[in-house]
């Protein structure tokens, strides 16, 4: 007879204290439930991989906490569903104080939904991974750009806390990121930008901003800009109004307005435009 059932309560192992129940018909189908306190998700994954004789292709999940795992379907290639709450937890290059969510593995396709709460990031993440690539949607309540970008191999001198929606696509070595974002304060190349909002796109080594608006030295700057780090190119079309000159030069009183447009090679070509200074004279 190739069909059997099994059950084990409070099974203790190096990766956790778990309850296991299941039934299987060898060569046909199985139905297994594992639930309990997981001390090491990485070890639990390795254990499951050995038991099922299956290598999981999705990125590493780490952490410890409570989990409920359901393994069912085809005996040789079962489907896996799991829900969890880990403190701390991690996925691929990200480690956080607290994460809860659900994951699902169907053949070579991996689905994940995560709710993250950490000093550097709070929000919801949905991802889909397959042999063709990875797609990630992030609804960010708040997050530090300098901690998030490196996780996607994006190297750009932008720092600070932002919120918004981010979409990341990774296919082989190609990365594409699109975002609609806002922030009370960001630092770009050592310049502080206040109340900034806009749309961002990163592809290859090129970063572009559209519908960009931020406050600088008491004035407002609006427009579009892009930089290609590989080709060392730029394309800019921005305008500014009511920028306080005294914040730049203490002895100069007045407001600056400008428009700037151009494209070319960084360090060689110039963006051209017009500017206007409205002087302030002391009252008598």
- The pLDDT tens digits of the residues spanning 12-58 come to 877 788 888 989 888 889 899 989 888 888 777 776 776 666 666 66
- Alpha-carbon span 193 to 183, nearest angstrom: 9
Please give the DSSP secondary-structure letter assigned to residue 50. H
Distance from first CA to last CA of the chain, Å, rounded?
Answer: 105
Give the containing element (helix H, strand E) for 179. strand 174-188
- The tens digit of pLDDT for each residue in 97-141 reads 999 999 898 988 889 999 999 999 999 999 998 888 889 999 999
- The tens digit of pLDDT for each residue in 218-257 reads 889 999 999 887 778 889 999 999 888 887 777 778 888 8
The neighbouring-strand residues paired with 166 are 138, 179
Angle at 51 between CA 49 and CA 56, to 5 degrees: 15
Between 192 and 92, the higher pLDDT residue: 192
pLDDT of residue 247: 78
pLDDT of residue 161: 95
- The tens digit of pLDDT for each residue in 61-101 reads 788 899 898 999 998 888 989 999 988 888 777 888 999 99
Return all residues near 208 (Cβ < 8 A) that are at least 6 apart.
200, 201, 202, 224, 225, 226, 227, 235
What pLDDT band is residue 183 in, cutting at 50, 70 and 90? very high
Among 188, 105, 110, 101, which residue's Cα sits nearest to residue 139?
101
If you average pLDDT over residues 193-207, what whole number do you get?
89
What pLDDT band is residue 175 in, cutting at 50, 70 and 90? confident
Q: Which residue has the tokens 């919120």?
A: 163
Among 202, 237, 195, which residue's Cα sits nearest to residue 217?
195
The answer to whether the beta carbons of residues 177 and 167 sit under 8 Å apart is: yes
Among 196, 202, 193, 206, which residue's Cα sits nearest to residue 266?
206
If you average pLDDT over residues 146-150, what whole number do you get?
86
Q: What is the pTM of this model?
A: 0.79
State both tokens at 109.
Answer: 């396709």
């Amino acid at each position: 007879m190739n069909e059997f059932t099994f059950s084990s309560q409070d099974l203790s192992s190096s990766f956790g204290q778990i309850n296991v129940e299941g039934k299987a018909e060898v060569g046909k189908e199985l139905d297994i439930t594992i639930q309990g306190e997981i001390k090491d998700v990485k070890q639990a994954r390795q254990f499951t991989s050995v038991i099922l004789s299956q290598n999981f292709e999705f990125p590493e999940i780490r952490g410890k906490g409570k989990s409920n795992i359901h393994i069912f379907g085809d005996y040789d290639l079962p489907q896996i569903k799991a829900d969890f709450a880990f403190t701390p937890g991690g996925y691929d290059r990200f480690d956080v104080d607290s994460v809860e969510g659900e994951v699902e593995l169907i053949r070579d396709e991996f689905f994940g939904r995560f709710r993250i709460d950490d000093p550097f990031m709070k929000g919801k993440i949905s991802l889909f991974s397959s042999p063709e690539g990875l797609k990630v949607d992030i609804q960010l309540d708040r997050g530090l750009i300098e901690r998030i970008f490196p996780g996607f191999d994006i190297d750009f001198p932008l720092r600070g806390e932002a919120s918004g929606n981010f979409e990341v696509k990774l296919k082989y070595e190609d990365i594409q990121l699109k975002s609609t974002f806002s922030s009370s304060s960001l630092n770009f190349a050592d310049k502080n930008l206040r109340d900034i909002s806009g749309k961002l796109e990163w592809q290859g080594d090129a970063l572009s901003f559209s519908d960009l608006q931020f406050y600088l030295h008491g004035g407002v700057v609006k427009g579009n800009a892009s930089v290609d780090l590989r080709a060392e190119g730029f394309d800019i079309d921005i305008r500014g109004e009511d920028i306080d000159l005294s914040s730049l030069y203490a002895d100069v009183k007045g407001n600056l307005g400008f428009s700037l447009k151009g494209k070319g090679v960084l360090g060689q070509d110039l963006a051209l435009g017009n500017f206007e200074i409205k002087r302030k004279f002391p009252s008598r």
